[in-house]
Structure 1
Amino acid sequence: MKVALLLVIAYLLGSIPSGVWVGKLFFNKDIRQFGSNSTGTTNTFRVLGKKAGIAVLLMDILKGTLATCLPMIFSLSVNPLIFGVAAVLGHTFPVFAKFKGGKAVATSAGMILGYSPLFFVYSASIFVITLLVSSMVSVTSMVSAVLITLSTIILPFIWPAVLPHFDWLLTAIAAGLTVFIFIRHKENISRIKNGTENKVPFGLNKKKE
Structure 2
Amino acid sequence: MKILVMILIAYLLGSIPTGLWIGKFFYHTNLREHGSGNTGTTNTFRVLGAKAGMITFIIDMLKGTLAALLPLIFGVTGVSPILIGLFAIIGHTFPLFAQFKGGKAVATSAGVLLGFAPLFLLFLVVVFVITLYLYSMISLSSVVAASVAVVSVLIFPAFGFLLPHYDLLFTLVIILIAGIIIVRHKDNITRIKVHKENLVPWGLNLSHQEQKKN
Question: Which bracket does the TM-score occupy, shorter chain normalised?
Answer: over 0.9
CA distance in 1 between partners of 2:155 and 2:20 (Å): 38
CA distance in 2 between partners of 1:165 and 1:134 (Å): 33
Deviation per residue, 1:67-110 (Å, 9 max, x gap): 01100111112111111110000000100111110011110111
Residues 7-156 of structure 1 mapped to structure 2, 5 A cutoff: 7-77=7-77, 78-156=79-157
Q: CA deviation at 1:141?
A: 0.8
CA distance in 1 between partners of 2:158 and 2:83 (Å): 24
The amino acid across from 1:65 in the alignment is T
With 110-119 and 7-16 compared, the bigger mean Cα shift is at 110-119
Q: CA deviation at 1:158?
A: 2.8
CA distance in 2 between partners of 1:128 and 1:67 (Å): 25
User: Contact 2:35–2:46 (CA<8 Å) still a contact in 1?
Assistant: yes
User: Contact 1:201–1:208 (CA<8 Å) still a contact in 2?
Assistant: no
Q: Secondary structure at the match of 2:203?
A: coil
With 61-70 and 176-185 compared, the bigger mean Cα shift is at 176-185
With 173-182 and 138-147 compared, the bigger mean Cα shift is at 173-182
Deviation per residue, 1:140-181 (Å, 9 max, x gap): 111110101111222223344x22222111211121222222
Q: Secondary structure at the match of 2:75?
A: coil
Query: Which structure 1 residue ranges, 4+ long, deviate > 3 Å from structure 2?
Result: 206-209
* Structure 1: gaps spanning 5 or more residues: none
CA distance in 2 between partners of 1:195 and 1:116 (Å): 35
TM-score (norm 2): 0.92
CA distance in 2 between partners of 1:120 and 1:46 (Å): 25
Deviation per residue, 1:110-149 (Å, 9 max, x gap): 1111112211211211111111111111111111101011
Aligned to 1:166: 166
Name the % identity: 52
CA distance in 1 between partners of 2:110 and 2:180 (Å): 14
Cα RMSD of the aligned pairs, angstroms, is: 1.4
User: Contact 1:104–1:181 (CA<8 Å) still a contact in 2?
Assistant: yes
CA distance in 2 between partners of 1:139 and 1:184 (Å): 12
CA distance in 2 between partners of 1:165 and 1:197 (Å): 38
Q: How many aligned positions are there?
A: 208
TM-score (norm 1): 0.94
